[in-house]
């Protein structure tokens, strides 16, 4: 890696801007960049500069390894009591005839479709339906665990959990423990959007705030559960809002070390109340991933969610700090397809995912939810 370090040092030294040069040297020396330096990278750094640095950090941490898992999604309902302006997925409870609502048996039947298949994770998220309460989800988790004990259950955003706990008159700590005891093993990263109230009050004013979101993840970490974190970018937020969001997560990770991965999520403008806002460019997308890798120095992994970005852009992100592109998914999520994402039928089998990664000279590694390596597909030949 000495050659790579020498090469990135030359790139940084050739930068005319002294502030960017100073920040670049801090990164190379393994020092943490500040809030102001994070904003500076968004405002002034050209994409080749942050991209080269992010790729260097990525390869220092993971080499060419690129992770994926075999997973599928269950979305219990798209009926929701909340009305987030960016959401193309949910249907307000008042218009529930336009939505769906799965029973416990419906969800168990989805799990049974994968009997005999080597999937390792089920990802359960959906809208906040007023009739789907704590008891309902406890029974759902228990049913899945009883049927397939080896399947890792990752489920429920703090938006769902906050409503669930308040309705059941439980503290966050009590609620998380009950779900964990029933078989919930980790939390996804959704519902974070942008933490700052200046933005949150406009795009999602009626759901759990930043403090509530962080509190729920902290409670999960305190039980030894791992979780992910997201950031919805490319709408009304300013650069400093993005850095503020990442800073809050970085500080909590210093304390709990419970986050596995950070996932920037691109705002999509189809069929929602923010359709007047133009979507970010690919250049901006790659810059967000790169700066996330540079700023989130205590997060082990940066993930690009391929159904949202599209396959080619997900490949591109692997040169801008990303080392995980999620999983097979198997066409079991509608959240981004309904918002106009690149992938309207989001499904890839293992061979397709491995090929995608190999095409850009990276090393495909199948992982489980908490990043234990299951299989190296570098030399694997599919029949």
Instruction: Give the start-to-end residue ranges of the domains of the chain.
Output: 2-62, 65-376
Q: Tell me how many degrees the CA angle 276-280-286 measures, rounded to the nearest 5.
A: 170
Q: Which two tokens stand for residue 31?
A: 């020092």
Model pLDDT for residues 72-82, shown as the tens digit of each residue: 999 998 888 76
> How high is the pLDDT of residue 92?
55
> How high is the pLDDT of residue 380?
87
**For the chain, which ranges sit under pLDDT 70?**
1, 82-98, 329-346
Residue 127 — left, alpha, or beta (φ > 0 → left; ψ -120 to 50 → alpha)?
beta
Model pLDDT for residues 265-287, shown as the tens digit of each residue: 998 877 777 888 889 999 999 99
The pTM for the full model equals: 0.92
Q: Rounded CA gap, 314 and 58, in Å?
A: 15
Q: Rounded CA gap, 78 and 340, in Å?
A: 16
> How high is the pLDDT of residue 30?
96
> How high is the pLDDT of residue 83?
67
> How high is the pLDDT of residue 272?
72
At a CB cut-off of 8 Å and minimum separation 6, what does 180 contact? 220, 223, 225
Q: Choose which CATH entry (3.40.50.1110, 3.30.200.20, 3.20.20.70, 3.90.79.10) describes domain 65-376.
A: 3.20.20.70
> How high is the pLDDT of residue 336?
42
Give the closest residue to 248 by CA, choosing from 236, 266, 262, 235.
262
Count of beta carbons in the 10 Å neighbourhood of residue 204:
21
* Cβ–Cβ < 8 Å for 89, 73: no
> How high is the pLDDT of residue 333?
43
> How high is the pLDDT of residue 275?
82
Helices 47-62 and 18-28, interaxial angle, to 10°? 10
At a CB cut-off of 8 Å and minimum separation 6, what does 85 contact? 202, 203, 204, 272, 273, 274
Residue that is written with structure tokens 């967000």 in the block: 288
> How high is the pLDDT of residue 328?
79
19 by Cβ neighbours in 10 Å (0-12 / 13-18 / 19+) ranks as: middle
């Amino acid at each position: 890696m000495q050659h790579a370090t020498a090469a990135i040092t030359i790139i940084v030294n050739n930068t005319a801007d002294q502030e960017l040069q100073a920040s670049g040297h801090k990164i190379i020396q393994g020092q943490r960049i500040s809030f102001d330096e994070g904003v500076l990278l968004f405002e002034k750094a050209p994409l080749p500069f942050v991209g080269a640095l992010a790729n260097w950090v990525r390869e220092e941490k993971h080499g060419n390894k690129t992770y994926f898992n075999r997973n599928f999604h269950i979305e219990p309902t798209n009926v929701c009591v909340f009305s987030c302006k960016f959401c193309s997925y949910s249907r307000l409870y008042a218009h529930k005839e336009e939505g769906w609502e799965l029973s416990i048996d419906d969800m168990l039947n989805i799990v049974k479709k994968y009997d005999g298949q080597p999937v390792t994770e089920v990802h359960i998220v959906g809208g906040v339906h007023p009739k789907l309460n704590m008891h309902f989800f406890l029974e759902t988790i228990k049913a899945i665990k009883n049927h397939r004990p080896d399947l890792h259950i990752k489920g429920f955003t703090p938006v769902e959990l906050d409503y669930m706990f308040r309705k059941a008159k439980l503290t966050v700590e009590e609620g998380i423990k009950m779900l964990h005891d029933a078989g919930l093993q980790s939390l996804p990263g959704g519902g974070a959007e942008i933490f700052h109230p200046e933005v949150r009050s406009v795009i999602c004013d009626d759901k759990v705030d930043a403090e509530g979101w962080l509190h729920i993840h902290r409670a999960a970490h305190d039980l030894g559960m791992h979780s992910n974190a997201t950031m919805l970018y490319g709408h009304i937020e300013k650069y400093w809002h993005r850095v503020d969001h990442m800073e809050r997560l970085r500080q909590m990770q210093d304390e709990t070390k419970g986050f596995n991965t950070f996932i920037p999520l691109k705002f999509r403008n189809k069929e929602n109340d923010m359709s007047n806002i133009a979507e970010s460019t690919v250049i901006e997308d790659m810059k967000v991933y790169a700066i996330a890798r540079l700023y989130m120095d205590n997060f082990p992994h940066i993930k690009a969610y391929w159904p949202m970005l599209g396959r080619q852009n997900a490949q591109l992100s692997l040169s801008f700090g990303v080392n995980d592109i999620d999983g097979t998914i198997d066409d079991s999520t509608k959240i981004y397809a309904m918002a106009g994402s690149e992938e309207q039928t989001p499904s890839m089998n293992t061979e397709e995912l491995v090929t995608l990664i190999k095409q850009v000279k990276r090393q495909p590694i199948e992982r489980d939810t908490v990043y234990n390596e299951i299989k190296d597909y570098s030399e694997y030949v599919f029949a």
